[in-house]
């Protein structure tokens, strides 16, 4: 592929590339820490970013997500698939060190609840501190769980 033809907005996603540890904590289960690993890599051609994750506890899903640039050339779409058979589509942004994911419309499955994630990159880019939230009607949001990424490579 001609790298010169690669849309510049994709360069923002380079911040993810590498191996990461995951650590999640759930307000509903104080003291329970869920650990795992994630990798981010470019699909050949550099147009789609692939994320894979594995979690140490079997009650939490392993999965894969594929991120590509939206038609507007500034935002992204994340296609999510996990070991439970769940498939979802999230609107995604990455601006000024803040990563957002939002699911607010039906996709592969009915929209029984809304979801959003906000993760902030540390100044050195080696930590992402994030928070998942859910909503039953799309306006009142409840904390679901925290998720922290620590970059290994």
CA distance 17 to 49: 8
pLDDT at 12: 96
CA distance 78 to 80: 6
Tokens 């990159």 belong to which residue?
A: 121
Cα dist from 51 to 5, 6, 58, 113, 123, whole Å: 23, 20, 19, 24, 22
- Residue 24: what are its φ and ψ, rounded to 5°? -120, 150
pLDDT, tens digit only, all 153 positions of the chain = 455 688 999 999 999 999 999 999 988 888 889 999 999 999 999 999 999 999 999 889 999 999 999 988 889 999 999 999 999 999 999 999 999 999 999 888 888 999 999 999 999 999 999 999 999 998 999 999 999 999 998
CA distance 138 to 40: 30
Report residue 25 as tokens: 């904590």
Domain residue limits, the chain = 3-151
pTM of structure: 0.92
Tell me the three state secondary structure of residue 48. strand
98 neighbors 119 (Cβ within 8 angstroms) = yes
CA distance 105 to 56: 30
**Which of the four CATH numbers 2.40.128.20, 3.40.50.300, 3.40.630.30, 3.30.450.30 does domain 3-151 have?**
2.40.128.20
């Amino acid at each position: 592929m001609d790298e010169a033809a690669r849309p510049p907005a994709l360069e923002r996603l380079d911040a993810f590339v590498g191996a990461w540890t995951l650590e999640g904590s759930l307000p509903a289960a104080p003291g329970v820490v869920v650990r795992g690993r994630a990798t981010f890599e470019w699909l050949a051609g550099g147009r789609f970013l692939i994320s894979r994750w594995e979690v140490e506890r079997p009650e939490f899903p392993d999965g894969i997500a594929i991120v590509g640039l939206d038609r507007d050339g500034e935002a992204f779409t994340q296609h999510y698939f996990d070991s439970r058979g769940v498939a979802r589509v999230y609107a995604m942004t990455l601006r000024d060190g803040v990563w957002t994911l939002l699911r607010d419309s039906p996709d592969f499955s009915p929209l029984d609840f809304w979801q959003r994630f906000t993760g902030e990159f540390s100044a050195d880019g080696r930590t992402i501190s994030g928070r998942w939230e859910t909503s039953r009607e799309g306006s009142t949001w409840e904390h679901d769980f925290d998720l922290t990424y620590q970059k290994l490579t």
